[in-house]
Amino acid sequence: MALIYVPIALILLLLGMFYVVSITRAHHQEVFLDRLRDASYLSITARQSILADDPTLVQVDLDRYHELYGVRAAVVDQAGNPVAAAGLDVTQVPERAAALAGRRAELHDDVWPWDTEEIVVAEPVFDGGDVVGALVTSSDTAQVRRGIWYSWAILIAGGVVTALVALLVADRTAGWVLRPVRAVDRAMEQMGSGRLDERIPLSTGPPELRQVVGRFNEMAERVEQLMRRQQEFVANASHELRNPLNALMLRIEALALSVPQDDSAEVEHVRAEAERMAQILDALLLLAEGSTMGAVQPVDVVDLVAGHADGWRLLDPDREFAVDAAEDVLWGAVDPTALGSALDTIVDNALKFSPASSRVEVGVRRDGTMVEITVRDHGPGVPADQLDRLTDRFWRSPGHSAVRGSGLGLAIASELLASAGGGLRLELPAGGGLRAHLLVPSWEDPA
């Protein structure tokens, strides 16, 4: 809106300044021309009085002029000596020298309302082309200043009214023009929060913006259709893949009972690959469906971490797990399944990217209004410029491309925690490795 109001204000201000100068100059010119006409009329009697050497001829007119209009006047001869005067000491007026030199009075600097100088008009008195004297008038500028102040007051009042009307029209016009833009902004915000069915009416705004709104609605319709098709495809694909995958795992279990002891290791590898396929399938489904938490409930985070730690030790008996809790009980507001899945994903990364002889350190503590789980490994870590990309979907560090994985684990963990009001923060601790901070809101009243 400032893009409209500021130019309007500047235009009105500039126009007002030009009009102020014009009004001031017009008032000054009007009074000056009036005095110049009076001087031309009085110069006729002044010439007669100078030529006849009779001051009384012009004195009567000067006195009458001073009485009626309050303008002081005087007549001097060619030598500059006073001939007649009505309230004016002509010897104190420097303009008389220019008039005696034959130069007519000219309009000089404008009169402003705060000026106190008088308006002086000095006209030469000619006789047959020769200067025989001069007539000088001096008038107070009070009337001129009052006229200027009055004109300025009218101008300011008119300017204020004009500015208010212009601003009102500009506000209504800008509101009408920008209404579709605001509607697009609100619709984009709603779509960003998951409401893909949000649309904008086409009945507001100028034709050009209505066309933009129409294009936006078409785009939103296509996006909704594509997302719906994606979800349907993922749902159908999950059902199609789940059955043969379950059948494959059952066959693997049956095969494990019949193979010789020497081949049991190969069977375990096959079983592990099948389980990894199931995990990847679950991850894809979770991302496609929005990675949202289930029902939030009070969860003893210390107890949850301890239970999962027992499972980690069974999976990797040779690994040292150090679990440290700042308190015996710490309640968090979270879906336990989702938190456990995120925690297992972080620990699985720590196991994959750190040496088998290193330890994994897990801590639980309260951090303000949050409950924080930290997982620290002693692996090689990642370069500092790659740290922010670890939670991007399908992104893998070039230095770890040979390690098995899909690049979805940290992305899923981050989205699961964020959907519950928490988050995932990664850092590179001193001494190498990677430290992950899993944050969930604390539950103040578990009862």
Q: pLDDT per residue over 156-181, tens digit each?
A: 787 778 778 877 877 777 777 777 77
CATH assignment of 207-288, given 3.65.10.10, 1.20.272.10, 1.10.287.130, 1.10.150.110? 1.10.287.130
CA nearest neighbour of 112 among 73, 148, 65: 148
The pLDDT value given to residue 111:
59
> In this structure, are residues 72 and 58 in contact, taking their beta carbons and an 8 Å threshold?
no
Is residue 72 classed as helix, strand or coil in its secondary structure? strand
Name 136's bridge partners. 74, 122
Rounded mean pLDDT of 386-409?
Answer: 64
> Can you name the CATH fold of 297-441?
Heat Shock Protein 90 (3.30.565)
Which DSSP letter does residue 197 get?
Answer: T
CATH assignment of 2-148, given 3.30.450.20, 3.40.710.10, 3.30.1330.60, 3.40.50.1950? 3.30.450.20
Tell me the per-residue pLDDT of 297-325, one tens digit each, with 9 for 90 and over: 888 999 999 888 887 887 778 788 888 88
Tell me the per-residue pLDDT of 221-253, one tens digit each, with 9 for 90 and over: 888 888 778 777 766 776 677 778 778 888 888
CB proximity list for 333: less than 8 A, separation 6 or greater:
296, 297, 298, 299, 420, 421, 440, 441, 442, 443
Most confidently predicted of 84-88, 153-157, 162-166, 391-395: 84-88
The pLDDT value given to residue 283:
57
Q: What angle do CA 279, 282, 285 make, to 5 degrees?
A: 150
In this predicted structure, the answer to whether residue 82 has a pLDDT above a threshold of 60 is yes
229 vs 143, higher pLDDT:
229
CA distance 106 to 339: 94
Considering Cα of 430, then 432, then 433, then 434, what sign does the dihedral take? positive
CA nearest neighbour of 91 among 134, 37, 60: 134
In this predicted structure, the answer to whether residue 411 has a pLDDT above a threshold of 50 is yes
CB proximity list for 256: less than 8 A, separation 6 or greater:
264, 267, 271
Residue 4 — very low, low, confident or very high, per pLDDT cuts 50/70/90? Answer: low
Name 74's bridge partners. 85, 136
CA nearest neighbour of 390 among 421, 341, 347, 425: 425
358 vs 181, higher pLDDT:
358
- Residue ranges per structural domain of the chain: 2-148, 207-288, 297-441
Rounded mean pLDDT of 211-218?
Answer: 80
CB proximity list for 198: less than 8 A, separation 6 or greater:
187, 190, 191, 220
Residue 446 — very low, low, confident or very high, per pLDDT cuts 50/70/90? Answer: very low
What tokens were used for 225?
Answer: 């259709």
One-letter identity of residue 88: L
Calculate the CA 363 to chain-centre distance: 42
One-letter identity of residue 359: R
> In this structure, are residues 354 and 379 in contact, taking their beta carbons and an 8 Å threshold?
yes
H or E stretch including 269?
Answer: helix 264-288
Tell me the per-residue pLDDT of 327-337, one tens digit each, with 9 for 90 and over: 888 999 887 87
| 132 Ramachandran zone, left/alpha/beta (phi>0; psi -120 to 50) | alpha
The pLDDT value given to residue 53:
83
Report the chain's mean pLDDT, rounded to a whole number.
77
The pLDDT value given to residue 319:
84
Tell me the per-residue pLDDT of 17-37, one tens digit each, with 9 for 90 and over: 777 777 777 766 777 787 788
H or E stretch including 138?
Answer: strand 130-139
The pLDDT value given to residue 368:
85
pTM of the shown model: 0.43
Residue 116 — very low, low, confident or very high, per pLDDT cuts 50/70/90? Answer: low
> In this structure, are residues 379 and 350 in contact, taking their beta carbons and an 8 Å threshold?
yes
